[in-house]
Amino acid sequence: MDSVTVFGAYGHTGRFVVAHLRERGFVPVLSGRDADKLKALAYETGLEARPASVDDPASLDRALAGAAAVVNCAGPFATTAAPVIEAALRAGIPYVDVAAEIEANADTFTHYADRAREADAVIVPAMAFYGGLGDLLATAAMGDWTTADEAHVAYGLSSWHPTAGTRAAGVVSGQRRAGRRVRFTNGHLEYHQDALPTLQWPFPEPMGPRTVIGEFTMADVVTLPSHLDIPEVRTYMAAEAARDLSDPATPAPAPADEHGRSDQTFLVDVIVRSGGHERRAVATGRDIYAVTAPLVVEAVARILTGRTRTVGVASAGAIFDAPDFLRALSPHLSVDLRP
């Protein structure tokens, strides 16, 4: 059985990833910056714990020693991605993370594309609900199209109870943008201070039409354009979920079933348009943090068994067979591809 180091294993998403790795037959190695939290999780799970800090490369090397891959679940990724990627490159193992931070993901592509390709290494950022799932859906929807005029990714969340990690990452992203907003238009990221529009989005059933915040920009504006020839990529967020996120009083997610998932449900509606034609892909499921675990673990399994299409830094849709990958997730979410 392959061992997989999980950095940030004791975090909300990290715990889901550890549990799903075990379900898939991997042996997780617990790692992260908080030795006490690691010790508690090791006692709870019976797994090996290896404390490590992004400020201590030797500790990261010890954490990755003997592992077949590393999954980085520790945000803010603006702080953790580069040091853990460097450690993965030194160890000669694949790196996968669950970063939703737009700038952190852009940095990974910018700073590591050449090095990873030259080293024949695999680095997959944003292999999560934000960034990864939208990219897989858009890639599958594209089908035989080699280019499209625009892509739209609309997130219908019943609610959004953010984790402490989500809030911390949001603070870092806000600081990096100096209060500006970001969108992907005319083939590049553009920072602006325009007010965000509100509009109705025609979500399919069971959700139905819903008010969304337009240009509520997520990691899809990095992952999709990294390999798809689409000059306009827009993302949208259900208004009630956006309100939850912006309210500092909104509590963290609470478990509501035996798997620890919250009662949050989601519908991701992806539309690509080209020359007056339109294609659509829809995914529905429960708990955006919990569903990240099967996404990232399926990615690890495919990388380690050679079911990949490229090397270097690559998004989910670029490195994997998107329709096949989505079919493999059928126990965890429902996908409908609509030509």
What gap in Å lies between CA 210 and CA 239, rounded to an integer?
8
Those residues whose C-beta lies under 8 Å from the C-beta of residue 316, and which sit 6 or more positions away, are 124, 126, 127, 131, 132, 133, 135, 136, 139, 223, 295, 299, 322, 325
- Regarding whether 189 and 280 lie in a shared domain, the answer is yes
- Number of domains forming the structure of the chain: 2
Rounded Cα–Cα distance for residues 282 and 284 (Å) = 7
Domain boundary among 287, 310, 332: 287
pLDDT single digits (tens) 257-272:
999 999 999 999 999 9
- Mean pLDDT, the chain, as a whole number? 97
Q: Domain for residue 41, yes or no?
A: yes
Asked if residue 336 belongs to a domain, the reply is no
Q: Are residue 99 and residue 30 in the same domain, yes or no?
A: yes
pLDDT in tens, 230-262: 999 999 999 999 999 999 999 999 999 999 999
Q: How far is CA 213 from CA 66, 165, 219, 222, in A?
A: 45, 23, 16, 19
122: domain CATH number is 3.40.50.720
59 with 186, same domain?
Answer: no
Residue 10 and residue 89 in one domain: yes
Percent of the chain with pLDDT over 70: 100
Alpha helices by DSSP H, listed for 92-154, are 102-118, 134-142
Flag whether 331 is in a domain. Answer: no
- Tens of pLDDT, residue by residue over 79-89, are 999 999 999 99
Q: Which helix (H) or strand (E) holds 57?
A: helix 57-64
Measured at the CA of 204, the angle between CA 199 and CA 205, to 5 degrees, comes to 125
Give the range of the structural domain holding residue 11, as residue numbers without chain letter.
3-128+293-319
What is the pTM (predicted TM-score) of this model?
Answer: 0.97
